[in-house]
Structure 1
Amino acid sequence: MKCGVRFCGGCNPQYDRGKAFEEIKNQIKDVDFVNAVEGVPHDLLLVIGGCSSCCAGYEQFETKNGVLKMWNKTHIERICDEINKKKD
């Protein structure tokens, strides 16, 4: 499964978004995480926001199985669970 990843601009990050993403990748080894690219269909899209606004735009990306959004490091386990459900 190919999961496109979209980060917010980082104007008000309340946690280390890169570290959170690394934790997700370490927990889910069999998913191909790539930078989201317009015009390229992704199986899933992960939007990583730095605060509760989670304002990163993502409507321009194509996805077959929807969008998962996170804006807090406490969301890591939920995101991993949701990705695992989508890949089955």
Structure 2
Amino acid sequence: MKVGIKYCGGCNSRFDRTSIVDKIKFDYKEFEFSYAVEDEEYDFIIVVNGCHIACAGLQDLKSKRGFLIIRDDDYKNIREKIDRMKE
């Protein structure tokens, strides 16, 4: 699966956005990960927002199966959502 990664601006220093993505990459080595860019289509896009403002822009991003919005570090919940996206 081709998976795009989109990060927010990172103003919440208490939420380590990259460690969550590193865990996902480790657990789903069979996926092809890259930063989400315009005019590229992905199977799904992981959007990492560090707070409720959710400033990561999604306009012009293309996804076949939708967006997985991450707002916290509840990794069990994140894995369940990823597994549903695989189906």
TM range (shorter): 0.7 to 0.9
Between the aligned partners of 2:71 and 2:85, the Cα distance in structure 1 is 20
User: Which amino acid in the other structure matches residue 22 of structure 1?
Assistant: D
Q: Please tell me whether residue 52 in structure 1 is matched to residue 48 in structure 2.
A: no
Q: How does 1:1-88 map to 2 (within 5 A)?
A: 1-74=1-74, 76-88=75-87
Sort the Cα spacing of 1:60 and 1:13 in 2 relative to 1 into closer, same or farther, 3 A: farther
Identity %: 34
Aligned length: 87
Which residue identity does 1:4 align to in structure 2?
G
Task: Compute the displacement of 1:82 (Å).
Answer: 1.8
Is the 1:45–1:67 contact (alpha carbons within 8 Å) kept by the matching residues of 2?
A: yes
Q: Is the 8 A contact 1:9 1:56 kept in 2?
A: yes
Higher strand fraction (1 or 2): 2
Verify the 8 A CA contact 1:6 1:56 in the aligned structure 2: yes
TM-aligned CA deviation for residue 86 of structure 1: 2.0
What SS is found at the alignment partner of 2:24? helix
User: Quick one: distance in 1 between partners of 2:7 and 2:80?
Assistant: 20
Structure 1 residue 10, shift from structure 2 partner: 0.8
Structure 1 unaligned runs (5+)?
none
Q: Is the 8 A contact 1:14 1:72 kept in 2?
A: no
- Structure 2 unpaired stretches of 5+: none
Runs of 4+ in structure 1 off by over 3 angstroms are none
